Amino acid sequence: MKTLYPKNTGMQVFTLIWFGQMISLIGSQLSNFALGIWVYQKTGSVTQFALLSLFSSLPMILISPIAGTLVDRFPRRWVMLLSDFGAGIATTVIAILFSSGDLTIWHICVGMMLSSCCTAFQWPAYTSATTFLVPKEHLSRANGMLQMGEAAGRLVSPILGGFLLLLIEIDAILYIDVVSFLVALLILILAPFPKQYIDRHRAEPLPWLTETFYGLVYIFKRKGLFALLIFFGITNFLVGIVQMLVTPLVLSFGSPTDLGTIMTIGGVGMLISSILISTMKGPQKRIYSIFGFMLLGGICITCAGFYKSVPLLALIAFLFFFGQPIINSSTLVIFQKKVPSNVQGRVFATIGAIANASLPLAYAAAGPLADKIFEPLMSKNGLLASNVGKIIGVGQGRGIGLMFIVMGLLTVLATIIAYRYKPLRLLEKQLPDIVSNSN
């Protein structure tokens, strides 16, 4: 795949597109926040609430291999346009149903599924477009900006969403999301996106099934990349369980305001880290940054299980989320530099599918593990009350605290094992860079 445009304009075009996508992301997180509250208030069911996370992640995982193949066959701009348009339509329908009083839980689940399918196309198109929009020396900065957009959404959406719910109805928030999609679409249409050459006349066209799984085959043949992918699949499962249990952990001893404070400070840490990445030169050995901050994340999760202190948990949240943009941007740069641009759609779709495939499992396992095993173990008369209970306490929420300790220690262990695997540790040195913005 070739790109034909003045090289010095690439970062400017990317920044313009990034701004539109960030506005759209904030709008989407606003609507997800509002719909989540509506579902929980209407049903009072944690299971129903968790279903939203399941329906928003599972379809993307299932269709990502097919989406990656199509992303590599068509211009990235049009894939992003159609993806944003589809997600915007789904949100519009939900808003209309809410305004008419006809909205039900299954409507929201279907809308989440459609948006998830659109994300399966949008994410690999956006990520691989970054490679040919941005000169190689600015990839770290560009990926830092991507993380900044996510951090802004994480920080702004709960605060703004809570404030807006005091002033307007949920359907108005959904329409704000629709407007944010229109902003992203307009920028994609008007931005001077580079011309993109796609080779549609290969001497030996590959069968569709072969094309679909080409991303997996490409990664599997490169031990370091494959090990990195498996490493994230495992740690995502562990962190996914923690994510589902943060709310009940904090509410077991604190108030909703305490929870909001902790989440906001975590968002601040993520935003500061993203700004630093986007304004400073990236680390020379990104794989060590991944190991270091993943190790820090595991230690943070472990410490969170020991203490019932809002200020301490806020500090832990800051440190944990500070490391996430560095981990994510370092990983993206590694794959962008090691994978040819004409197959990045399939490769990034495979990354998204495998790395996130563990999340539905984590969402499904978190509740039963907490309710049926760990919470009974740490009850006042539980099996571990007389030993572990003397260290972390007993009663409501202490079983979840023990789960945090276990998941944190497993994250630390997984990181140490990954570091000991030589093809992964020496990935950047042994696998040569392929990216070229000038071809």
pLDDT of residue 7 exceeding 70: no
Please give the average per-residue pLDDT across 302-325, as a whole number. 90
Task: Give the C-alpha separation, 65 to 421, whole Å.
Answer: 27
What pLDDT was estimated at residue 211? Answer: 62
Distance of CA 437 to the CA centre of its chain: 26
Please give the average per-residue pLDDT across 346-358, as a whole number. 75
Distance of CA 190 to the CA centre of its chain: 27
Q: Which one is predicted more confidently, 176 or 59? A: 176
What pLDDT was estimated at residue 4? Answer: 43
pLDDT of residue 303 exceeding 80: yes
Task: Give the C-alpha separation, 34 to 162, whole Å.
Answer: 8
Task: Give the C-alpha separation, 212 to 206, whole Å.
Answer: 10
Helix, strand, coil distribution of the chain in percent, nearest 5: 80, 0, 15
pLDDT of residue 354 exceeding 60: yes
Task: Give the C-alpha separation, 83 to 126, whole Å.
Answer: 10
DSSP assignment, residue 204? S
User: Exposed, middle or buried, 203 (CB in 10 Å: 0-12/13-18/19+)?
Assistant: exposed
pLDDT in tens, 257-276: 777 778 888 888 888 888 88
Task: Give the C-alpha separation, 49 to 36, whole Å.
Answer: 6
Which residues are CB-neighbours of 67 under 8 A, at least 6 positions away? 120, 121, 124, 345, 349
Give the amino acid at 294.
M
Torsion-angle region of 282 (φ positive above 0: left; ψ -120 to 50: alpha; else: beta): beta
For the chain, the domains span 1-193, 213-432
What pLDDT was estimated at residue 407? Answer: 94
Reported as a pLDDT band with limits 50, 70 and 90, residue 435 is very low
Whether the Cβ atoms of residue 282 and residue 140 lie closer than 8 Å to each other: yes
Residue percentage of the chain with pLDDT more than 70: 87
Of these ranges, 49-58, 146-155, 406-415, the one predicted with the greatest mean pLDDT is 406-415
Count the neighbouring beta carbons within 10 Å of the beta carbon of residue 386.
10
pLDDT in tens, 117-169: 888 888 788 877 777 777 777 777 777 777 777 777 767 776 677 677 777 77
pLDDT of residue 194 exceeding 70: no
pLDDT of residue 12 exceeding 70: yes
Q: List, in sequence order, every residue forming a beta bridge with 195; answer none if it has no partner.
A: 4
Question: What would the two tokens of residue 217 be?
Answer: 């085959």
Whether the Cβ atoms of residue 196 and residue 3 lie closer than 8 Å to each other: yes
What pLDDT was estimated at residue 35? Answer: 79
Q: Which one is predicted more confidently, 170 or 406? A: 406
CATH topology of domain 213-432: Growth Hormone; Chain: A; (1.20.1250)
pLDDT of residue 348 exceeding 70: yes
**1-193 CATH choice from 3.40.50.300, 1.20.1250.20, 3.30.43.10, 2.40.30.10:** 1.20.1250.20
CA angle at 149 for the pair 99 and 284, rounded to the nearest 5°: 160
| Cα–Cα distance list, 148 to 90, 152, 315 (Å) | 26, 6, 20
| Cα–Cα distance list, 37 to 158, 162, 245, 420 (Å) | 11, 10, 17, 44
Kind and range of the H or E element at 197?
Answer: strand 195-197
Whether the Cβ atoms of residue 128 and residue 344 lie closer than 8 Å to each other: yes
Average pLDDT over the chain, rounded to an integer: 80
Intra-chain end-to-end CA distance of the chain, in Å: 8
Classified as helix, coil or strand, 3 is: strand
pLDDT in tens, 14-45: 888 888 888 888 888 888 777 777 776 676 66
Task: Give the C-alpha separation, 221 to 211, whole Å.
Answer: 15
pTM of structure: 0.71
Orientation angle between helical segments 139-167 and 310-338, nearest 10 degrees: 140
**Whether the domain at 1-193 and the domain at 213-432 fall into the same CATH topology:** yes
Task: Give the C-alpha separation, 84 to 28, whole Å.
Answer: 11
Reported as a pLDDT band with limits 50, 70 and 90, residue 6 is very low
